[in-house]
Amino acid sequence: MIVTEHLQGAYGDTIVVDDVSIAVPRGGVTALVGPNGAGKSTLLALVSRLMGPRAGTVTVDGLDVTTTPSDALARRLAILKQDNHLSVRLTVEELVAFGRYPHSHGRLTASDHDHVRRAMGYLDLEPLAGRFLDELSGGQRQRAFVAMVLAQDTDYILLDEPLNNLDMAHAVRMMSQLRAAADDLGRTIVIVLHDLNAAAAYADHMVAMKDGRVAAAGTVADLMREDLLSAVFDLPVRVLDVDGVKLARYYGVPVASTTSA
């Protein structure tokens, strides 16, 4: 379980995450949603010790992320930020193999190679194994990065907008692969999503953030509510039930229609 208590994060004097106390249960997919600048990415960076908190604590399975040795944490929790531009020229296979670094420190064993192969297979990367990253499309590269964090074989996987650069087909495939990783491999996935409907269709839990604070947290059914989403996004949002899945409609919704909901 990931638990944050009164967590505060700041860049200089600007507080971007304030008083966030949430508990992400073990297993399943938790989606972080909210408008730009709500503090979603910063929260992920704080939880994954990429950034030090200004106040408050973060624990992962009871381990405080600021005091636990970084390499021990790297075997428990993996983070993939958005906008990963590697200037290092690596092949897909080399990149995915670096996901094993916390376990092998570069000397790959047979089991490390198994993990690498499985992670690449999971994201359909075998045909690209020997290709250099700078020769791939943005979507292919994104899949390679996700394969790297999967190969890291951690209980917790934190992903910051992994659907960036992906077209609809690849976005759907990525989400179902992550869903499968949670269901089949028992991983706990925390994912920042811009697409509310991706969250609604694939996540178990949702955390909505606004202005650095948690606006609401709960199951998908708890959060996919018109009044709540409209307030979080400052935008009229309609929630429709399509084939048993709640979907949000926000394009072309007249302002008046939300008040009647």
Partner 1 sequence: MTTTLTRPSTRHPESGRLAPRRRIRPARGAGVLVLGCALLAGLAAASLVVGVADISVAGVLAGGPERDVLLVSRLPRTLALMLAGAGLAVAGLIMQLLTRNVFVEPSTAGTLDFASLGLLACALLWPDAPVWTRMTLATLAALAGTGLFLRMLRAVPVRDVLLVPLLGLMLGGVVGAFTTFFAYRTDLLQSLGAWTTGDFSAVLAGRFELLWVAGALVLVAGFVADRFTVAGMGESFTTNLGLDYRRTMALGLTVVAVVSATVVVTVGALPFLGLVVPNIVRAIVGDNARRAVPLVALLGAGMVMGCDLIARLVIHPFEMPIGTVMGVLGALAFLVILLGRRGPRVR
Nearer to partner 1, 85 or 184 (CB): 85
For partner 1, the binding residues in 33-62 under the rule CB under 8 A are 45, 48-50
* Phi, psi (degrees; rounded to nearest 5) at 230: -60, -40
Q: Going residue by residue from 58 to 87, which x/- string records binding to partner 1, judged by CB under 8 A? A: -----------xxxxxxx--xxxx--xxxx
- In angstroms, what is the minimal distance from the CB of 205 to partner 1? 23
Judged by CB under 8 A, which of 15, 55, 61, 101 binds partner 1? Answer: 101
CA 201, distance to chain mean position in Å, is 15
Residue 71 or residue 183: which is nearer to partner 1 going by CB?
71
Smallest distance from the beta carbon of 73 to partner 1, in angstroms?
Answer: 7
Q: In whole angstroms, what is the distance from residue 214 CA to residue 22 CA?
A: 8
158 phi/psi in degrees, rounded to 5: -110, 125
C-alpha angle 59-24-158 in degrees, rounded to nearest 5: 80
CB closer to partner 1 out of 21 and 91? 91
Beta-strand runs (E) in the chain: 2-11, 14-20, 23-24, 28-33, 55-60, 63-64, 77-80, 156-160, 188-192, 205-210, 213-219, 238-242, 245-249
> Binding string, 191-230, against partner 1, x = CB under 8 A?
----------------------------------------
Binding mask 119-138 for partner 1 (x = CB under 8 A): -----------xxx-xx-xx
The whole-angstrom separation of Cα 38 and Cα 114 is 39
Q: How many Cα atoms occupy the beta-carbon half-sphere of 59 within 13 Å?
A: 9
Positions in the binding site for partner 1 (CB under 8 A) = 45, 48-50, 69-75, 78-81, 84-91, 94, 98-99, 101-102, 105-106, 130-132, 134-135, 137-138, 141, 149, 152, 165
